[in-house]
Amino acid sequence: MASENFKITPYKVTLKKDGLPRCGTRSTPGVITQRSCVYYGARWILAPIKNSIHIIHSPIGCAYYGATVRKKTYTIASSDISEIEIIYGGEKKLKKAILEAARELKGEVIFVYLTCPTALNGDNIEAVCREAEEILKIPVIPVYSPGFAGCSQAKGHEIGMKALFRLIDRNVDSAKELIKKKRRYKFYKISKDEELTVNIIGEFNVSHDLEVIKELLSKLGIRVICTFTGDCDLKSMSESKKAKLNLVHCRSTGKYIANYMEEKYGIPQMKVSFFGISNTQKSLLEIGKFFNIEERAVEVIKEEYNKIKEELKFYLEKLEGKKVGMFMGGSKIGLLSAAFRDIGMEPIIIGSQFGSLEDYLEAYINAEDNTILVDDASNVDLQIMMENKKPDIFIGGTKEKFLALKLGIPFLSFPQDNYPFTGFTGFLNFAREVYKAIYHPIWKLIKFEIN
Ligand code: SF4
């Protein structure tokens, strides 16, 4: 779907029948936005990388803010700059912090984040990183992520992904032959005895989502080399260029690496989704087609579906026709609205803190004419929408949770807390969690009046 064919309204809130919401623009001054800053967006991408050290070149506040990502708190370091460094520059203090962190924390790669104050005082973190790399003999990667570099965390996702290019490029010499061969991938046929390998890009292994995906792929005989960034380390990133296909799970964040690897190493990319039954089936069939193992893909789909179908029936009957509101990361609104459609539910509010036009287009096809599409809603906006539309359940992050519950609306956290939501078993978990939230006995005991 090309966005040129769709009407884009001048408003951040719209009904589907009126067009797509305006997005990718700065928040209205004075409004308490739900967005995060660019630096936090970069943390969202880079935090899960194994054996990595993260140094935030900032006052301690930015570092504290970026320590917790997807509800997990990481050990990070800060150069802890103060007024003195703001005036005279903080490069010396940064170098000291890098060497100290390398000594204390041990890791195979170091990321150094530029934040608002250190970008404004003009510190040359590239030069400091090169000096530190000389001394430490491990990659020291600058991440140019001052909070003001974009209008939301989405820009930070891009910056975080692009910071990884240098790590993918390691050991380039040994891969020269492979690259030449891959560059002709349009004519590249996979022979029977070749190992089937992929990278997954834009998957962050929330509540073991990745394990379900890997198990499905292993049933097709496919090995995952590297998952950016839910399961990656320096070695797997460096080997990722040997993959025969890149599976892009979250397009908003994944496209940067996928495009880069396609351009540089000739690795084709395929957009997939393992959220919802129809998306999972479609993705497995397309992967099967690519590797010429379609029959196996069909078998796996049948086997996996048969395992869940009896239990699933109960939830589908109970949930059919229920209405859902959602507010979450841009790339997930299309996927989740499709998964709710698979359950038989109707998305009536679809919103994101930082969706792109592509994200809203994906959501658009799962929406009804009167479904609200909203970008960068404040808490007050969300409250008004919930009160007017009265969804049977709302799905979103911590910031929306208590608002929904106080209004008497059942709530489901996303990213989810306990179980994987990907693949067939994940879809069953998803339906079960939605059912548990809506039919929780507490709602019979409490009466809410929404005026
Ligand atoms: S100072 Fe800038 S980089 Fe630090 S948390 Fe605030 S907006 Fe983000």
Architecture of domain 3-19+309-445 in this structure: 3-Layer(aba) Sandwich (3.40)
Residue 239 has pLDDT above 50, yes or no: yes
Q: Indicate the CATH number of 38-150 among 3.40.630.10, 1.20.81.30, 3.80.10.10, 3.40.50.1980.
A: 3.40.50.1980
The predicted pLDDT at position 32 comes to: 86
* Residue 383: pLDDT over 70: yes
| Residue range 381-392: mean pLDDT, rounded | 96
Ligand 1 atom 1, closest CA: 116
The residue whose C-alpha atom lies closest to atom 7 belonging to ligand 1 is: 147
- How many Å lie between the centroid of ligand 1 and the Cα of residue 123? 16
Of the ranges 103-112, 247-256, 295-304, which one carries the lowest mean pLDDT score? 247-256
Determine if ligand 1 sits within 6 Å of the CB of residue 115.
yes
Using pLDDT thresholds of 50, 70 and 90, give the confidence band for residue 179: low
Q: Using 50, 70 and 90 to split pLDDT, how confident is the model at 177? A: low
Over range 27-53, report the average pLDDT.
94
Predicted pLDDT of residue 445:
84
> What pLDDT, on the 0 to 100 scale, is given for residue 398?
85
Mean of the pLDDT values across residues 346-365?
93
Percent of the chain with pLDDT over 70: 93
Query: CA 300, CA 304: separation in Å to the nearest integer?
Result: 6
User: What's the mean per-residue pLDDT of the chain?
Assistant: 92
Task: Give the per-residue pLDDT at 187.
Answer: 45
Cα–ligand 1 centroid distance for 134 (angstroms): 29
The minimum-distance atom of ligand 1 relative to the CA of 117 is 1
How far lies 274's CA from each of 5, 352, 370, in Å?
28, 20, 27
What is the structure's pLDDT at 253?
Answer: 87
According to the model, what pLDDT value does residue 172 have? 59
The confidence score (pLDDT) of residue 444 equals 86
Q: pLDDT tens digit string along 426-445?
A: 999 999 999 999 999 999 88
Q: Is the CB of 274 under 6 A from ligand 1?
A: no
CB contact burial 370-383 (16+ within 10 A = b; e otherwise): ebbbbbbbeeebbb
Fold designation for 173-299:
Rossmann fold (3.40.50)
Please work out whether the CB of residue 39 comes within 6 Å of at least one atom of ligand 1: yes
Strands (E), 152-238: 196-203, 222-229
Distance (angstroms) between ligand 1 centre and the Cα of 234 equals 28
Question: Hey, which residues does 344 pair with through a beta bridge?
Answer: none
Domain positions in the chain: 3-19+309-445, 38-150, 173-299
